[in-house]
Amino acid sequence: MTIENFSNRRELVSKLEAARKKNRKNEPVSVRFPGEDRPLEVYPASVRNHPKGGVLLSGRYNDRDALFVLGKETLRVMKEYDGEIILRHSDFSVMKCRWNRTTARKIREDFPYCAPSSEQKEQVSISFGDVLGQAGKAQLRAFEGKADLAFSRQCFHQLEKLDIHPEDALDAVTRTIFQEGYEGGYAAEACHLTTPEQMRSMMDAGYTRFSLEPSGQTLFSWREKPKKELLASMFEVPWIELRDKFELMFNRYKGNRIDLGPVRFSEDDEQHESMIIMPDEAEILAAIRMFSGIIIQVIEMEKVMVEEGRRDELILEVSFARSEGALTPFELFFLVTELLRHDVNIDFVAPGDLTTEHWTVARNTRLTGLSGSVDHLDNIPHETSGMKFHGVIEDLSYLAALQCMSKLAPDLFREIWTHSRNVLEQVREETGLDVPIQKIPPEKEYADEDLADLISVDGADLFLRHTMNEVFAQKDEQGRRYLRTAVFDFIRKHEPEYTDALVRRYGQITDANR
C-alpha cells in the first residue's frame, strides 16, 4: 500500500490511521513525498502523538529500522530525540532517528506502556524465549488479549555467550511494542539467574521478572541417600549463614502433621478434603540438604531488590522446571516455609510437573502462583482461587527463522546447517546433547525444495537449538559475526513470512496442550 498526495501533517496522519484499520497485520505502508526518490516505510499502528507536540512513527528508511518524528523544527520534541532532518513538506519536517539504545530509552520514558512492568491483571501470564528479539509481533498476534505477556525472556548466560547486552534485547521489544501500537503492558523476564550480580545486571537493564535456576544435577539425588549418610552430611550445611541450628530446623517438621485446609478452587466445585503432609525423618533430612544452599541464594537475590528499593515492583520466582525431577508437595512446603522465616516472600515457584497437590500447597502459603510449561494450561485452578499461573513457551525464534530460510534463502540455510553439523561434536561434549551426528543428514542430500524436511528430522530441533550459539559466534576474516548478521538481515527482509511461521508454531504448541 502507498500513501501520497497529502497536503499537510494532519492529512498524512489521517491516511495512516485509515490504513491501520485496513491493515490488520500492520505491514509497512509506503509514504511518498513529492520530489523524493526514497519513500518512508511506516508501520501504521505506530502513529502516536507526543505529549510535547509532534507525531512519532516507527518504520524503515533505506532498509534500516528508524523512528520518525513529524513536526515543526522548533518543537521541543525535535531537540529531545537524536536524529537528522531528512525532508521538509508543507507545515512539518521529518526527522529520522536510529533505533538505538538512546532512542529506546527515550521511548520508554515518554510512553510508559512501552516499558516493562510487573503489574498482573490476568490469572494467566505467558513468557516467551526470544534470543533474536524479533518475535514480539508474532507473540502479540498469537496471544494478545489471552494472557498477561512477558516478552524478552532472556537467559543471562546465553546473552553473555552471544555478547548481547541485556538492554539490547529489551530495546528490540520496545521497538516492537511501539511499532505495533500495543498499550496493554508487559513484563520482561530474566531467567536462569544464579548470582546476585546477574540479577543486578538485569535489573539495571530494566527487567521486571526474575526466575532463579538454583538446581544442579545432584539436587534430587539426596532423596536416595540412606538416613545415616544424610545425618552425617548435616555438618556440611551452612548453619551460620542460615542463622539456624539443625535441631531447630529438623524438629520444626519431625512428627508434625501438616494440615493444609480444604481448598475450593471455584464456587461450583465441591470443597476438597484437607490435604495432610506427614514427612518422615529421611524426607526432612533430604529437604534440608537439597534446599539449604538454595535458601541462602534466594535470600541474597531478594536482598538486591530490597537494597534498590524495588522489591514491590518486581516478581521473583524460583524454578526447578529444568531439573531432572519435580518437587514433592512437602519439598515445596518446606522451601516456601523456610524462606518466609527469613522474611523472603517469593512470588512464584516452578516445581516441575504440576499436580493438584502443588496447587493446594501454594494456596495455603503466600505464593502468588505457580509456573511451568504451557502443558499445564488446562490444569490451573479457577479464577476464584486467587492463584495465578505463569506459563513458559520455549524459544522458537531461531527454528522459525530457519524454517523460512529453507524456502526463501536455501544457500544461507545450507551454510548454517553445515556449520551446525561441523560443531555438533564440540557441542555434544559441552552440553551432553544426546543427538549423534548420524541422525543429522548433510544438506547436500536434499534438493532446495526439500530442505524444509531437514528441520523435521528426529532430533533436529535440539540439534539446531544447541548449536545456535556456535553459529552466531562464527566470525569472518574481518572479525565480524557474519552468520548472525545474515540471520538478522534475513528476518528484516522477510518479516511477514517469519511472523506467519512463528504464529503457526505458537498455535501448534497451544493447540496441542488444549
Give residue 262's pLDDT: 63
**Residues 227, 333 within the same domain:** yes
Average pLDDT over residues 454-472: 91
3-state secondary structure labels for all residues of 18-41: HHHHHCCCCCCEEECCCCCCCCEE
Q: Name the least confident of 107-111, 161-165, 262-266.
A: 262-266
Average pLDDT over residues 356-360: 88
Give the three cell numbers for residue 255: 512428627
Question: pLDDT digits over 47-87, tens only?
Answer: 999 999 999 999 999 888 999 999 999 999 999 999 999 99
- Structure-model confidence comparison of residues 269 and 499, the more confident one: 499
Is the pLDDT at 513 greater than 60? The verdict is no
**Residues 203, 281 within the same domain:** no
Give residue 218's pLDDT: 74
Question: pLDDT digits over 194-220, tens only?
Answer: 899 999 999 999 999 999 987 666 788
Give residue 1's pLDDT: 87
Q: Where is the domain boundary, 211, 240, 267?
A: 211
Give residue 382's pLDDT: 64
Is the residue at 64 inside a domain? yes
Decide if 393 contacts 503 (C-beta within 8 A): no
Gap between the Cα atoms of 6 and 4, Å rounded: 6
Is the pLDDT at 269 greater than 60? The verdict is no
Decide if 59 contacts 214 (C-beta within 8 A): no
Q: Where is the domain boundary, 393, 408, 435?
A: 393
Burial degree of 236 (CB within 10 A; 0-12, 13-18, 19+): exposed
pLDDT confidence bin for 498, thresholds 50/70/90: very high
Is the pLDDT at 326 greater than 70? The verdict is yes
Is the residue at 105 inside a domain? no
Is the residue at 103 inside a domain? no
**Residues 202, 280 within the same domain:** no
Looking at 147-209, list the stretches that DSSP marks H as alpha helix, in order from N- to C-terminal side: 156-161, 166-180, 196-205
Structural domain boundaries, residue 140: 112-211
**Residues 65, 125 within the same domain:** no
Give the three cell numbers for residue 96: 529520522
The owner of cell 524444509 is 452
Average pLDDT over residues 479-507: 91
Average pLDDT over residues 270-283: 81
Q: DSSP states of 480-498 as a string?
A: --HHHHHHHHHHHHTHHHH
Average pLDDT over residues 360-368: 89
What is the distance in angstroms between the CA of the first residue and the CA of the last residue of the chain? 38
Burial degree of 207 (CB within 10 A; 0-12, 13-18, 19+): buried
Give residue 209's pLDDT: 95
Give residue 213's pLDDT: 85
Give residue 435's pLDDT: 87
**Residues 251, 352 within the same domain:** yes
299's enclosing H/E stretch is: helix 281-307
**Residues 265, 380 within the same domain:** yes
Which among 103-107, 388-392, 476-480 has the top mean pLDDT? 103-107
Decide if 504 contacts 402 (C-beta within 8 A): no
Is the pLDDT at 34 greater than 80? The verdict is yes
Is the pLDDT at 511 greater than 80? The verdict is no
Burial degree of 67 (CB within 10 A; 0-12, 13-18, 19+): buried
**Residues 389, 256 within the same domain:** yes
pLDDT confidence bin for 29, thresholds 50/70/90: very high
Give residue 161's pLDDT: 84
Q: Name the least confident of 284-288, 327-331, 423-427.
A: 423-427
What integer best gives the mean pLDDT of the chain? 90
Give the three cell numbers for residue 220: 534430587
pLDDT confidence bin for 483, thresholds 50/70/90: very high
Average pLDDT over residues 473-478: 88
Give the three cell numbers for residue 43: 508501520
Which of helix, strand or coil describes residue 209? strand
Average pLDDT over residues 273-292: 91
Is the pLDDT at 453 greater than 90? The verdict is yes
pLDDT confidence bin for 275, thresholds 50/70/90: confident
> In sequence order, which residues have a C-beta less than 8 Å from that of residue 297 and are 6 or more positions away?
194, 212, 214
Give residue 23's pLDDT: 85
CA-wise closest residue to 317 among 357, 286, 344: 344
Average pLDDT over residues 252-263: 82
**Residues 167, 298 within the same domain:** no
Q: How many domains does one find in the chain? A: 4
**Residues 140, 24 within the same domain:** no
CA-wise closest residue to 252 among 233, 224, 220, 277: 277
Cα 273 versus chain centre, distance: 37
Which among 132-136, 341-345, 383-387 has the top mean pLDDT? 341-345
pLDDT confidence bin for 270, thresholds 50/70/90: low
**Residues 367, 253 within the same domain:** yes
The model carries a pTM of: 0.88
Average pLDDT over residues 147-169: 88
**Residues 287, 328 within the same domain:** yes
**Residues 260, 341 within the same domain:** yes
Q: Where is the domain boundary, 393, 421, 441?
A: 393
pLDDT confidence bin for 163, thresholds 50/70/90: confident
In this structure, the strands spanning 2-3 and 209-212 are: unpaired
